Amino acid sequence: MIPGVLVGHHHRIEAGWATGTTVVLVPAGAVGAVDGRGGAPGTRETDLLDPANLVQQVHAVCLSGGSAYGLAAADGVMRWLAERSIGFPVGPQPHHVVPIVPGAVIFDLPMSSWGNRPDSSFGYAACEAAAEEFALGCVGAGAGARVGSLKGGIGSASTTVGAHRIGALAVVNAAGEVVDRATGLPWLPSLGTSAVALPERKPEGLNTTIGVVAVDAALSKAECQRLAMAAQDGLARAVRPAHSMFDGDTVFALATGAVPLAEPRPFALDALCAAAAEMFAEAVVSGAREATSLNEVKAFSDL
């Protein structure tokens, strides 16, 4: 996705299991921010990302299935980082650190037998698997994802804006649809231009799309927050309705700082925000396009 940003998945897809965890690792640290919308969030360590608060950098973002239970996956991410002395320094020794690992979860509990959900071992294993290249579709946190009446999954998209590289990763598990039920046409043409017949939706009640937008620019926490806010606009383009009472839509932004932001600064930031919205929309499309059918939940590719 972006140099210095690694992605790893761990999941279980078998009898009684369809859930997992995805970790976005930044071992060298990155300025972080978050934007949360919708009425049913499941998050961890988001308050520290407020620009007014002390911590400036994060070392990973943990995205997981399992609803609030899945927040435990971040404990494994912390353990993996702590074993490598990666974190916020709090003492005189190199290993005296506290890894900063914000996270968010999707509601995928109906896709597994009750009690089968990610724990700390999922987060640790996802870190072990982290790399510059990573799989898409029904992997990691997208294993049990759904988008409207269809199977959801992990999607990604990236582009270049001037001297900067920006990318997005989305766990697509929205209450809304990626296809207009009235016409059968996708909201975004990049998902397809032919009409499809959607299966009947059985409402589950709770959902949530979560993800990360990352850039190699040197940004402040406040500027990162603008990036995360813009990415939410991309979600609203690709899924309708978005940000409902039954979604806890949460997008994190990471800035590695490898490339100085061009001047005049507000215009350069605005260009990145426009790209963040576009890339997150395409990441959502990617998650729906790469998903595969699971049990009775059909994927877009099978329509």
pTM of the model: 0.97
pLDDT tens for each residue of 199-227: 887 665 678 999 999 999 999 999 999 99
pLDDT tens for each residue of 6-62: 999 999 999 999 999 999 999 999 999 999 998 999 999 999 999 999 999 999 999
206 vs 217: CA distance, rounded Å: 35
Residues in the chain: 303
269 vs 271: CA distance, rounded Å: 5
Query: Look-up: residue for tokens 């059985």?
Result: 202
Averaged over 163-187, what is the pLDDT?
A: 96
254 vs 274: CA distance, rounded Å: 16
- For residue 225, which of 62, 36, 99 has the smallest C-alpha distance? 36
CB 144 within 8 A of CB 107: no
203 vs 149: CA distance, rounded Å: 8
Phi-psi group of 4: left, alpha or beta (phi > 0 → left; psi -120 to 50 → alpha; rest → beta): left
246 vs 205: CA distance, rounded Å: 6
CB 243 within 8 A of CB 38: yes
- Average pLDDT along the chain: 96
The strand pairing partners of 65, in sequence order, are: none
Averaged over 62-79, what is the pLDDT?
A: 98
Burial class of residue 259 in the structure, from the number of CB atoms within 10 Å of its CB (0-12 exposed, 13-18 middle, 19+ buried): middle
Averaged over 224-243, what is the pLDDT?
A: 97
125 vs 119: CA distance, rounded Å: 10
CB atoms < 10 A from the CB of 125, how many? 20
68 vs 78: CA distance, rounded Å: 17
Does 163 have pLDDT greater than 90?
Answer: yes
Does 193 have pLDDT greater than 80?
Answer: yes
- Cα 6 from chain centroid? 13
Does 118 have pLDDT greater than 70?
Answer: yes
- For residue 151, which of 143, 159, 161 has the smallest C-alpha distance? 143
Measured at the alpha carbon of residue 97, what is the angle toward residues 95 and 99, in degrees to the nearest 5? Answer: 125
Q: What's the pLDDT at 159?
A: 98
Burial class of residue 245 in the structure, from the number of CB atoms within 10 Å of its CB (0-12 exposed, 13-18 middle, 19+ buried): exposed
